[in-house]
Structure 1
Amino acid sequence: MGVTKSFFIALSKNQVLNSAAKKWGLKLGAGKMVAGTDIQSMMQSVKELNSNGISATIDSLGEFVHTKEEAVRAKDAILRTLEAIQSHSVNAHMSVKLTQIGLDIDPAFCLQNIQEIVAAAEKYDIFINLDMEDYAHLQQTLDILEALLKQYENVGTVIQAYLYRSEKDVENLQNVRLRLVKGAYKESVEVSLQEKKEIDENYLKLIKIHLQAPGYTSIATHDHHIIGQVKTFIKEKNIPLDSFEFQMLYGFRSEMQKDLAKEGFAFTTYVPFGQDWYAYYMRRLAERPQNINLALKSLVSR
């Protein structure tokens, strides 16, 4: 499993393949996990989710950003998506990767870009989630979040349960809206737990901590065992249903998503779209190698 994960993580960072993928379109099974390559097709997917009582957090995909011009184009695409959320009156917010808007180029430049995005979202009463990337970008992301929170309330971030420092981060961010995840990157033993059992235990621990804090909690998992334990915990502690939500990725366990919404739980689907789908798709294969079957079936049917 470790070798397979490392293989697909390495593929996700291959810029040559990323460029080629733009020409392929949503093939190799990616169409199952990415809601189209443009705003119009993505909006249709979001409206369908809304019709089932499900909200969306939208990710305008984009990676391998090396110049300020590329970062500005990515920022403008995010601003257009915010405008579309407003004009289509859909139940949705946005998730933004800071590397996409210049974090690796110049943190001050990146801060200006995300300030523009959060300010525009505030006008429309839309929440912005700062997606968490690999460990190398973690502290920079939290520093930018801290700067934004001095001026805005419509912003939060993601905490990854496999990192040793995450419990402390959750405690420091108890008033902030957080998406809690297990973690999708391959990190070293120096900074992260490596065993699934330990990661699962820490994940549930972080969920329980934040559910009892003032900040809103997004529980992002496809693990029905974790979901079952959360349901038990919220009953025991009388956790208000409007203080948390469940989240899953677009294209995964769609029936369970609908069922949880029907049960009365707030539910949000992470909806990625855009031409830069390749790296996102490779990371999903790294997380869940069984999805390789989707890719193989798509290749055979071409």
Structure 2
Amino acid sequence: MKTRITLSAAAALLATATGVTTVPASAAPARPAAAAGTSGTIVFVKNYNVWIAAGNGSHARAVTRGGTRTSPFHSPSESDAGVIAAARGSLIVRMTQRGKVLNTINPPRLWNSAGEPMDGAVNDVAISPDGRRIAWSFVRYSCPVAADCLVRYTTGYTRSTRYARAGRSTYYRAPSWVTNTRTLQTGGSGSQVMIHDINSAPRHWFDDSDYTFPSTDLADGELSRNGRWLAEIRGYGTTSAIIWYRVSGSARTGNPPSVPTYTCYTNGDARHASPTWSPDGTALAWASVDGIYVKRAAAACSSPQPRRVIKGGSAPNWSRAALR
């Protein structure tokens, strides 16, 4: 039998704009390491271009310089070796940390759940940790004959150096890599957190309704590299909060594990997006209204509070790659 909780009744809200809501003392996690959560690099978007910074937010600099309001870069991600992939219009652009373009890919059309072809502008891009594959998504509102009008999604996989099919497509979106052959994706009610081994059928992990009432949406999830933590966007519009969970069992291999244990969540903000874990899994970054925030010692909700480390940035992705 599933045990459900009411999040608003189970937690005490702290008083900052991105303040973190805590769980009851009985669920308080272990003491964090003091100097953790600062390694690697964070790629992000600023002024319509791809930028990069060290894991502590320092040494931020532009990677690209050609992005504009009408032709922006978006959805950047970075491999463990420091190769960046990002979307720009209908292209996936693969580049170095200095912005040297290695290649571009114009991915082919995919078919959505209503049997319609989807093509054109790329919405989501994620390069695998080993840099060998890139996942991308198309997202479109459509009104097919004899089907409901709604937003539909599809995600495909390609080799990173040129277009070559590298996995089975899905009817979900917002891929994030769990391993080099497994992603998390999302698809709305009934399929909020999906696990996909790239050559198999997607499998459902859980929805917000599996652990709480009343329930809402979950999307844009990322699992920490050690598999111990999961972060999601919970809610929509002004209720969008960053929520993270302690994972029991393994989501990296085999069947989806049990529903994870909710640990912390932030206030709601319409600009909350793109939660991403530090390489060691001890810190969590996300985008908010005025830049990129990092919650060090993410296993402890109340202290330290999230701190803005990059002003004006959005769409962060945290990689093991060193800043070159």
Under TM normalisation by the shorter chain, which class is it?
0.3 to 0.5
- Alignment TM-score, normalising by the size of structure 2: 0.31
Greater fraction of residues in helix: 1
